[in-house]
Amino acid sequence: MKKKDYIEVGNPHRLLTPGPVLLITAGDGSEDNIFSVAWSTPLRKEPPMAAILSGKGHYTYRLIRKTGEFGINIPDLSMAEAVIYCGRNSGRDVDDKFAGAGLSRIPASRISAPLVAEAAARIECRISQVVDMGYSSLLIASLLRTEVRKDYYSEDRWDFNDGLKLIHHLGGSRFAVSGSDLEVD
């Protein structure tokens, strides 16, 4: 695959608002992991904040709570199989989930977690508040740095004119696919 260009952007809520499934990365410099998250929402534009839901039993949860940091990686349609792989397999049972999913690590700028080289967009996050939801936690985080594929972004939002398709989880191994946009007058 030809190396893609990315641009840093200041409005990460615009990338999360349409509700794509996410790949969450965590790491402390000596170990790392990746898992799939279907439940998330932007929370605030300025300063930029968002929240994800994570099961407390996830292998990665301990790493996230230890570092207080995680990476949000937004996949496009080409990564749908990787998303299912990362949702089905635990870091407890797999030596290297990145390799198993066919994904590559790249270093982040502001957090110790790696990011996903193939992702359509990447957001570096630091947790500011945790809301207990029983068997899972709502992790509320500040969004420290955001970059998005240049060919997938224009006029401060996702741009579907150059082949972008986003995937939205429906349940099990099914996704809704969005590949067009509509402007209402």
Task: Indicate which single residue of 28, 31, 81, 162 sits in contact with a second copy (rule: CB under 8 A).
Answer: 81
Q: What is the CA 59 to chain-centroid distance, rounded? A: 17
Q: Enumerate residues 6+ apart whose C-beta is below 8 A from 182.
A: none
Write down the residue that tokens 């932007």 correspond to: 42
The answer to the question of residue 121 lying near a second copy (CB under 8 A) is no
- How far apart are the C-alpha atoms of 53 and 51, rounded to whole Å? 7
Tokens of 10: 């200041």
- How far apart are the C-alpha atoms of 99 and 175, rounded to whole Å? 23
The answer to the question of residue 105 lying near a second copy (CB under 8 A) is no
Task: Indicate which single residue of 49, 86, 139, 143 sits in contact with a second copy (rule: CB under 8 A).
Answer: 49
The answer to the question of residue 1 lying near a second copy (CB under 8 A) is no
Binding string, residues 130-149; x marks residues near a second copy by CB under 8 A: -x-xx-x-x-x---------
- How far apart are the C-alpha atoms of 85 and 101, rounded to whole Å? 6
The answer to the question of residue 106 lying near a second copy (CB under 8 A) is no
- How far apart are the C-alpha atoms of 76 and 23, rounded to whole Å? 11
Nearer to a second copy, 108 or 166 (CB): 166
Q: Applying CB under 8 A, which residues contact a second copy? A: 13-14, 17-20, 38-44, 49, 51, 53, 77, 80-81, 83-84, 129, 131, 133-134, 136, 138, 140, 156-158, 160, 166-178, 180-185
